[in-house]
Amino acid sequence: MSDVYIIGAGETKYGELWNKSLRNLAVEAGLKAIEDAGIYSKDIDAIYGANGLAGTINEQENIGALIADFSGLSNEGIPAIRIEASTASGAAALREAYLSIKSGEYNVVVVGGVEKMTDLHGSDIVNKMSSILDREWEAFYGATPASMAAIIARKYMHDFNVEKEALAMIPVNDHNNASKNPDAQYRNKITVEQALNSTPVADPLNLMDCSPVSDGAAAVVLASEDYVKKNGKDGIRILSSAIAEDYLSVGSRESIYTFNSARLAAEKAFMRSGLKRDDISFIELHDSFSIYALIELEDLGFVEKGHAKDIVYNDIKLDGSLPVNPSGGLKAKGDPYGAVGIGQAVEAYIQLKEKAGERQVKGAKYALLHNMAGTGASSVVHILGI
């Protein structure tokens, strides 16, 4: 089976982007990636477009056709398909594109993710965002993503004696890294005190524990080994791709602070890549809420359950032993649902090609990307390398 490479990447700035529509964002990121890869429309075998909420927020379905149309590719007969897997839509689409090349069906695939969330505000957007939960057993009773994360945080902090300060280290690190990322939504550095004293959202989580509502798009171009060799392309390799599911509703799970989906997907991804945790140069984590970063570090196998508090103060920094979210993460780079997983791949591409400037992880060789749906209902893990 062919190895699969990322040969081009591009993204929009993330944030509250009033002057850009869903289609503007998708096309901007897609064309940047195509230009970066140095390919032409005749080279493209398929397009995958990841999106979580356009049907509910923007009343726009058929995202694949929309992207192909507005990129000027629809009259070329190129298949263009939308992939929806909630907040993990991006990595799920990346995985489908990867498999389509692995299978031998395609040689070059453009895969992008887009979300336009700030068209709605207040309780309207919170209600739509809550569609990532189990609507019947969670959201109908008033649960929101933030309140579910808060319940998980309370139990975790109680059982493992974790102070709020340990949670605050996640946004402090994210904002610090995002200050070096021109595409990030929030580029201001914050202190631990600012994080701890920010507006309460769902106790014990404050504003700085929460990812924002974001617009944005990201895209990468994948190519087969054969195409890379024949065309002299320079890319990074996708060493493994894995996905796993857990119960959708948190109450059905064995433990509310264990993301089994992350654990299983990471196990598969490491087995397939032949790498060990120690080989990983940096991680992009799905830290939509600070508490999730701690839990994910444990369930992805980097530290024992209950011990993430031991590594969040220093190791996760850009120059630490396990840099986390050099991009700024969901907290500070932003959380445009369908774009997140692809945006993580864009960061890995930039880092592994040593083009990350001020936020470069020195000597980066291997990256682990974790994109998660809902409160851990599914996880997609990719390991990439040079």
Ligand X SMILES: CC(=O)SCCNC(=O)CCNC(=O)[C@H](O)C(C)(C)COP(=O)(O)OP(=O)(O)OC[C@H]1O[C@@H](n2cnc3c(N)ncnc32)[C@H](O)[C@@H]1OP(=O)(O)O
Q: What would the two tokens of residue 275 be? A: 């790498």
Q: How far is CA 190 from CA 105, 169, 179, 210, 316, in A?
A: 47, 10, 10, 14, 16
Of 41-49, 91-99, 205-213, 295-303, the window that binds ligand X (rule: CB under 6 A) is 205-213
Residue 99 or 196: which CB sits closer to ligand X? Answer: 196
Of 204-212, 263-271, 302-310, 320-328, the window that binds ligand X (rule: CB under 6 A) is 204-212
Report if residue 343 touches ligand X, rule: CB under 6 A.
no
Contacts of ligand X in 354-373 (CB under 6 A): 372
Residue 216 or 374: which CB sits closer to ligand X? Answer: 374
Contacts of ligand X in 149-188 (CB under 6 A): 186
C-alpha span between 281 and 217 (Å, rounded):
25
Closest CA to 96 of 77, 112, 118, 76: 112
Report if residue 213 touches ligand X, rule: CB under 6 A.
yes
Report if residue 129 touches ligand X, rule: CB under 6 A.
yes
Query: Is the separation of the CB atoms in 95 and 243 below 8 Å?
Result: yes
Q: How far is the CB of 125 from ligand X (least distance, A)?
A: 7
Q: How far is the CB of 130 from ligand X (least distance, A)?
A: 8
Report if residue 58 touches ligand X, rule: CB under 6 A.
no
Q: How far is the CB of 179 from ligand X (least distance, A)?
A: 13
Report if residue 205 touches ligand X, rule: CB under 6 A.
no
Query: Is the separation of the CB atoms in 352 and 346 below 8 Å?
Result: no
Report the residue from 26, 57, 114, 201 that binds ligand X according to the rule CB under 6 A. Answer: 201
Q: How far is the CB of 306 from ligand X (least distance, A)?
A: 22
Q: How far is the CB of 126 from ligand X (least distance, A)?
A: 6
Give the residue closest to ligand X by C-beta.
288
For 179-247, the DSSP string reads TT-TT-S------HHHHHTSPEEETTEEGGGB----EEEEEEEEEEHHHHHHHT---EEEEEEEEEE--
Report if residue 145 touches ligand X, rule: CB under 6 A.
yes
Report if residue 14 touches ligand X, rule: CB under 6 A.
no
Q: How far is the CB of 337 from ligand X (least distance, A)?
A: 7
For the range 59-62, what are the long-range contacts, defined as Cβ-Cβ under 8 Å and sequence gap of 24 or more? 60/22
Report the residue from 174, 215, 299, 335 that binds ligand X according to the rule CB under 6 A. Answer: 335
DSSP 19: T
Report if residue 211 touches ligand X, rule: CB under 6 A.
yes
Residue 30 or 145: which CB sits closer to ligand X? Answer: 145
Residue 181 or 281: which CB sits closer to ligand X? Answer: 181
The DSSP H or E segment spanning 82 is: strand 80-83
Q: Omega before 204 cis (within 30°)?
A: yes
Report if residue 126 touches ligand X, rule: CB under 6 A.
yes
Q: Residue written as tokens 């595409």? A: 183
Query: Is the separation of the CB atoms in 65 and 59 below 8 Å?
Result: no
Report the residue from 30, 49, 112, 212 that binds ligand X according to the rule CB under 6 A. Answer: 212
Report if residue 84 touches ligand X, rule: CB under 6 A.
no
C-alpha span between 243 and 8 (Å, rounded):
23
CA 43 to chain centre: 27
C-alpha span between 357 and 226 (Å, rounded):
31
Residue 78 or 146: which CB sits closer to ligand X? Answer: 146
C-alpha span between 18 and 168 (Å, rounded):
30
The DSSP H or E segment spanning 168 is: helix 164-178
Residue 186 or 257: which CB sits closer to ligand X? Answer: 186
Q: How big is the site for ligand X, counted in residues (CB under 6 A)?
A: 17
Of 108-116, 151-159, 207-215, 317-325, the window that binds ligand X (rule: CB under 6 A) is 207-215
Report if residue 221 touches ligand X, rule: CB under 6 A.
no
Q: How far is CA 259 from CA 286, 340, 368, in A?
A: 12, 19, 17
Residue 237 or 331: which CB sits closer to ligand X? Answer: 331
> What is the contact surface with ligand X in residues (CB under 6 A)?
87, 126, 129, 132, 145-146, 186, 201, 207, 210-213, 288, 335, 372, 374
